[in-house]
Structures are given as C-alpha cells and as structure tokens.
C-alpha cells in the first residue's frame, strides 16, 4: 500500500542556534520541537554545522563498505541485536546495513575498520567519526530541548550520560521496477532519538496517528529526526513514537545513514515521577533497553502490535 497523504513534516531550523539555552531563539525552536514530537514523533531538521565535504564523503564511505564482498561484510558480527552487519533477509531482500558502535570514538571505529580492511582505511574511519561527532551535536540539542520542555532539567545530566551513539549505514537496492517494493517493514525505533540522513533517493514513509502514511521527501541536506520507544516510555507517553517503513521503486539504490542514541546496558529506563499524574497514569514498568531489544527479536516480540507494551506495559 502506498502513501495516502502528501502532508509534509514540520521543518525546524537549527542553523546558527548553538547550544545556548535560555535565548528567545532557543525557546522558539524548543516549542517547535515539542509540538512536532507530540503530533508526529518526527520532524525535518536544517543543521548547517556539518561541512559539505563531510556530507558528501559519508556516502562515499557508505558505498565503499557495501562494495566489499559479502564474506567480508559478515566479519562485522555482533552479539547485540540490530548491531553489526545485517543483510540477506528473504523478507526484505533489498535491505542491508552495518551498525558501528561508539561511532563518535575514533579508537572504536578504527578497531572495527581493521576487521573489514586489515590494511586499514583511514579515510573511512575519519569520515565516520567526523560525521557522527557533528550529528551528535544535533542529537544533544534536540534532547536538551525535550528535557527542558518536559520540565525535567534536574534529570538532564543523567539522561545525556545514559546513552552512547550507534551509527547505522543502510543500503536499499534498486528494485528495477516502477512497482512499489518493500524496502523495510513498518516498525517503531526502540532507542531514544534517531537522526537520518539520505541520498536523493526517497522511500521513507511515516505513519500518522490517524493511520495515514506520509511519503517523506526531505529537502536536500536536511535531517529527519525521530524519537523511539525508549524516549516515549521515559516521557510516559507525552511524545509520539511513530511507525515508519521504506518503500522502494525505480532504478536507483537508496543510501541512508542513521545516528541512534542508544541506552547503555544496565541503565533502567523509568518515567520520572513528574511525568505521572491522574491524567497521565504510568504506562510502562522500568526496563533495561538491551533486555527489551532481546525480547523484540523473539517470535513473540515480532508478533506483538507493540513490543514495548507486551514487554513492560502496566
């Protein structure tokens, strides 16, 4: 089923904003972020701090990886669900991806790079780290605005320190047809915040609260910012975690890069008491993200309409 509406996401401009809370400009953007995440769970961000050469280089690095032989790509394995190399799934034959843990830490990225290129590939490592560092600045701004808008400033340091950054690079092969083919099935993200950057091949679709699908066509060089189930639970349902999917058509491959802020293993995600009242009763029991992710990839988790509710709903 294709998209049912041409409704566009809110576009929010973070350019020249800086990390300066308390200014009139900051408060205006913060209000826009809160409204967008309540209504859509998602918005389009303009963020000019990432140089054009880094934006261009990231897709060169992505293509370098996907051009490697399959047996080489599979060397990047991980015991964590949805980390490492993913591909060769019969249900989504167009999709493959690579997860890079601690993508803002040069030593970690270089260690992973040597698995794929034993002789080293400094250009790949440098590009991944530079891009991740600069996009993580947008992640920090958005999350600080969310915390402030919820009146939870006393939890800000704990919230920021509870996560690490996973960079996932994704390829959707061209279906070589004008018919629409499934690139990635409908799902909600499970982490805190996801920031997506794509080449100029569209395909990402977002489901609105009324069940309609928006065919997203981001403006060139913008980012799509989306919240996941972990932030939805922490905010006790005050923000929306949206279903989204990728639908492909045509003769061009789609490349996208996603920076995910991911809760650390052992950290318990728990709605602050300020988020719970008569109008907003507690929705979820405290949970460990890694254990929740493990459940999500079981048969029961995959079958559930909401894995989060099935796992820890009150």
Q: Is residue 134 part of a domain?
A: yes
pLDDT for the residue numbered 6: 59
Backbone angles phi, psi at 242, to 5 degrees: -90, 145
Q: Which class for 304: exposed (0-12), middle (13-18), buried (19 or more C-beta within 10 A)?
A: middle
- Ranges of residues in the chain with a pLDDT under 70 are 1-6, 18-19
The token duo for 149 is 């808008």
pLDDT at 3: 44
Provide the pLDDT for residue 5: 56
* Residues listed for the chain: 314
* Helices assigned H by DSSP within 167-288: 229-234
11 inside domain: no
> Token pair of 174, please?
């061209």
Which positions ≥6 away from 160 have C-beta within 8 Å? Answer: 140, 143, 144
Could you give the CA distance from residue 305 to residue 42 in angstroms, rounded to a whole number? 20
**For position 19, what pLDDT does the model report?**
66
CATH of the domain at 293: 2.60.120.330
User: Residue 2 falls within a domain, yes or no?
Assistant: no
Q: What is the pLDDT of residue 196?
A: 98
Residue 136 counted as domain residue: yes
Q: Residue 69 has what pLDDT?
A: 95
Structural domain count of the chain: 1
Asked whether residue 16 is domain-assigned, the answer is no
State the pTM of this model.
0.95
Domain that residue 296 falls in: 26-312
- Look at residue 19 and tell me if it is in a domain: no
How far apart are alpha carbons 291 and 281 in whole angstroms? 24
């Amino acid at each position: 089923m294709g998209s049912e509406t041409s409704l566009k996401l809110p576009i929010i401009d973070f350019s020249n904003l800086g990390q300066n809370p308390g200014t009139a400009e900051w408060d205006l953007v913060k209000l826009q972020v809160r409204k967008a995440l309540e209504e859509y769970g998602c918005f389009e961000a303009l963020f000019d701090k990432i140089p054009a050469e880094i934006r261009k280089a990231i897709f060169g690095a992505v293509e370098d990886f996907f051009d490697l032989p399959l047996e080489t790509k599979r060397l990047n394995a991980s015991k964590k669900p949805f980390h490492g190399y993913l591909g060769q799934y019969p249900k989504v034959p167009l999709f493959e991806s690579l997860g890079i843990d601690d993508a803002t830490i040069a030593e970690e990225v270089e260690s992973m790079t040597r698995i794929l290129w034993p002789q080293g590939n400094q250009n790949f490592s440098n590009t991944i780290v530079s891009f991740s560092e600069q996009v993580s600045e947008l992640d920090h701004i958005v999350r600080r605005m969310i915390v402030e808008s919820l009146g939870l400033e006393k939890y800000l340091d704990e919230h920021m320190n509870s996560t690490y950054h996973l960079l996932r690079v994704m390829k959707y092969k061209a279906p070589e047809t004008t018919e629409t083919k499934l690139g990635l099935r409908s799902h909600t993200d499970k982490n805190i915040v996801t920031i997506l950057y794509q080449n100029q091949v569209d395909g990402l679709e977002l489901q609105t609260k009324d069940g309609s699908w928006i065919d997203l066509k981001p403006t060139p060089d913008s980012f799509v910012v989306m919240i996941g189930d972990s932030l939805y639970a922490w905010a006790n349902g005050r923000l929306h975690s949206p279903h989204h999917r990728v639908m492909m058509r045509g003769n061009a491959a789609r490349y996208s890069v996603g920076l995910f802020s991911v809760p650390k293993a052992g950290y318990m995600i728990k709605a602050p008491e300020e988020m719970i009242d008569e109008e907003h009763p507690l929705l979820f029991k405290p949970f460990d993200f890694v254990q929740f992710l493990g459940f999500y990839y079981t048969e029961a988790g995959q079958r559930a309409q909401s894995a989060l509710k099935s796992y820890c709903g009150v």
